[in-house]
Chain A
Amino acid sequence: MTLTESPVPPPRADRRLSTSKAMVEAIALEMDRDDAVIYLGEDVGAYGGIFSSTTGLLERFGKDRVIDTPISETAFVGLGIGAATEGLRPIVELMFADFMGVTLDQIYNHMAKIHYFSGGNVKVPMALTTAVGGGYSDGGQHSQCLWGTFAHLPGMKVVVPATPADAKGLMTSAIRDDSPVVYMFHKGIMGLPWMAKNRRSIDVVPEGEHLVPIGRANVVHEGSDITVVTLSLSVHHALDVAEKLAGEGIGVEVLDLRSLVPLDREAILTSVGKTGRLVVVDEDYLSYGLSGEVVATVVEHDPTMLKAVQRLAMPDVPIPYAHDLEYAVLPRQDKIEAAVRRALG
């Protein structure tokens, strides 16, 4: 077993994969290993997933294990729950996180609560995968992250990989976990041929079995002047900023949370303990969300730790369609850099 341990970078291997290929590789390995693993959702078969989350799986594992569903999220998410309680390990894809609304009852009143209600007697070993994020003018019903909403509702783990290696390692862990795990992948880091290429969306991925423990954050750039706590695509933007500011002699530490539930509070405290300045970058909505949680974690621990704090998140506005409006609210490099400079004073 290979562990991606914080703050050690992923194990070296010469092989580079896109995030989507890394995800698919993890699923295929787990399907080989355990025939209880099945994958179902809309357009996951012949199409291979709208965001290439299942490319090639149908050909390899057949229609009984890679299953196209009707457009009936309540029914097929619920089906995943029932199948999980009876011993299968379903991976159920909700095409966009934005569609959680039509199936939310199954997610938070059932998938997330059964283990608790049963006094620990019934397990729901299910992974719910879903695409998140904007940046390509898909409008306010197809561009949200919503991980704060999932994380707010107790009973499901929530993981959000930023790199190809983590996409593989977290997927493997999610499938093997006996709790329901929501696995949220940003479209902008999948390495899709039809979206703006992010240079970090194709990267080294360990061969063979690779697990990343759920609940462990990762220092992806070390620095001693300021901590940027973030996740998903924003990690890539934060790294760009960290590299730029390194040229000016400013040490930006970038902490990739990788997991919202459980949240690696220790890693946050360790980094902020070192730098004393904190910027939280979140592509989900600002109010009542991740950024407040991270800041509260530090303040509750020791309010004197913080010399400065900045929150940079999606303002509380439905995500606009027009390019200039969307870019006015997305937390991208320019805004991250400005927030870092503000926090440095």
Chain B
Amino acid sequence: MSTSLSAAAPVPETTDSGSAGSHLPDEVRLSLYETMVLSRTFEEAILREYHADKGPGFDIGKGLVPGEMHLSAGQEPVAAGVCAHLTTDDAVTATHRPHHFAVAHGVDLRKMTAEIFGRETGLGRGRGGHMHLFDPDTHFSCSGIIAEGYPPALGMAFAFRRRGTDRIAVAVTGEGAANQGAFHESLNLAALWRLPVVFVVEDNEWGISVARTASTAVASNADRAAGYGIPGVRVEDNDVEAVHAEAAKAVARARAGEGPSLIEVATLRMWGHFEGDAQGYRPELDSVAGLDPIPRYEQRLREAGVLDDAVVARVKESASARVEDAVAFAKSSPTPDPTDVMTYVFAEGAAR
């Protein structure tokens, strides 16, 4: 940390990555691994389908999955570690890169896939698309407007407390989004009203082509939490168990009515900002594959005797079966009827 600004701020607690032995029970570790594998398997299938029919060259508007596509490969540890502490009664507001949180929070794979394919059976009946997934069953939502998932999370948390429950809301952004006004206003208001919110910042180091160091004056967004009087912690090294440990504290604090906290995770965007991004601005691209958190965690669990070839094969096969079922469901689902295009503008049109 070189700037006087960050030097003056309280030093955030830093969690070291798990070179040390784990205190987690084997079944929790296995389940973190399974969640990450399911998420990756899902995105690999989306990647395949997305690029399948983009024509000669690359026409973003073509194919079974048109439009912008932001994939979260490499960021699975964040979602898996946080969502392990949630039930589907808790809310998650995610970003334009939403799939890993949706998968980890238990959004129905078939309905989500169908939405991404623009089908009538999708979460939003094909109206929303991959950046606008809304699932009332799991209280999951996301937005394509940067940082705009933070304010609604306050309201969800407010409603949960008002109803006398211990349900909480988790709000997710990227590190780039932490420079938006909505981010800062939300931290202040949640702190002031002690709302049961866990703020999560995924620091994958890039806001499209702009590096964190070129957009943010402090080295860690955990520093910023202090400015709002809430705990802030940075988890290094994209480590799912460290995320799990920090999320445990933040979630417990929120459930106990002690107010919000912020967790920033140093994570990794393995692929482009969106599909089609050649990443010419990203010099270290060659080394990215070696940083993939899933093989790393797999290796760790093998060494700990939690996994062996047979378990790995079973986890991957089961993920792949679920994902291919969801893709097949989406592909065989009807596209929305164009004459219905005005339905759902107002509540009268909601049939659910």
Contact = CB atoms under 8 A, between A and B. Distances in A.
Interface of A: 42-43, 45-47, 50, 68-75, 98-99, 101-102, 135-142, 193-196, 315-318, 320-325, 327-329
A139 B132 contact: yes
Nearest to A135: B61
A327 B341 CA distance: 10
Nearest to A143: B67
Given A46-B281, A320-B127, A72 B181 contact: yes
Contacts of A196: 59, 61-62
B57 interface: yes
**Size class of the contact patch on chain B:** 35 or more
B94 to A, nearest CB: 14
B291 interface: no
A317 B176 contact: no
Given A321-B127, A322-B129, 17 more contacts: A42-B210, A43-B209, A43-B210, A68-B214, A70-B210, A71-B146, A71-B147, A71-B176, A136-B67, A142-B131, A194-B276, A320-B127, A321-B132, A323-B61, A325-B127, A325-B338, A328-B338
Contacts of B58: 193-194
Nearest to A99: B145
Contacts of B148: 102
Candidate in A46, A101, A320 with the most chain B CB atoms within 10 angstroms: A320
By secondary structure, the A interface counts as loop
A320 B276 contact: no
Contact of A137 (B66, B342, B345): B66
B208 A50 contact: yes
Candidate in B59, B62, B129, B131 with the most chain A CB atoms within 10 angstroms: B129
Contacts of B232: none
A215 B10 CA distance: 55
Given A46-B280, A46-B281, A194-B276, A324 B336 contact: yes
Given A43-B210, A194-B59, A141 B143 contact: yes
Nearest to A195: B60
B152 interface: no
B61 to A, nearest CB: 3
A324 B118 CA distance: 9
A324 B338 contact: yes
